[in-house]
Amino acid sequence: MFVCSCFGVTEAQVQQHADNGACTPRQIASACKAGTDCGSCVRRIQAILGRGACRRPDLADQGRPVLARVEEFEDLGEAA
């Protein structure tokens, strides 16, 4: 089934990119252009990714607050 009619991208192709580590619609767009023309497929891509398509645990949230990473970078800047 086609997800992106503008570029002829199928659900299977989106799933393949997700299996290869793409976890966001922007990463899918970078991989195959889906979602970069009319944008009508972005919600469908989000739905596919929302099914747990992100298989790489190193890219997923590790349970730490997002701001903790920002604070780490700020600490590095002060040390320099």
Long-range interactions of 13-18: CB distance < 8 A, separation 24+: 14/45, 14/48, 14/53, 15/48, 15/53, 18/48, 18/49, 18/53, 18/54, 18/55
User: What tokens does 24 get?
Assistant: 């966001």
- Show the domain range for 72: 2-79
Taking the C-alpha atoms of residue 8 and residue 67, their distance in angstroms, rounded to an integer, is 38
Q: Is 57's pLDDT higher than 80?
A: no
Q: Is 6's pLDDT higher than 80?
A: yes
Q: What is the CATH number of the domain that holds 23?
A: 1.10.10.1100
Taking the C-alpha atoms of residue 45 and residue 40, their distance in angstroms, rounded to an integer, is 10
Q: Is 45's pLDDT higher than 90?
A: yes
State the pLDDT at residue 19. 87
Q: Each residue of 59-68: pLDDT tens digit?
A: 444 444 444 4
State the pLDDT at residue 65. 45
Tally the domains of the chain.
1
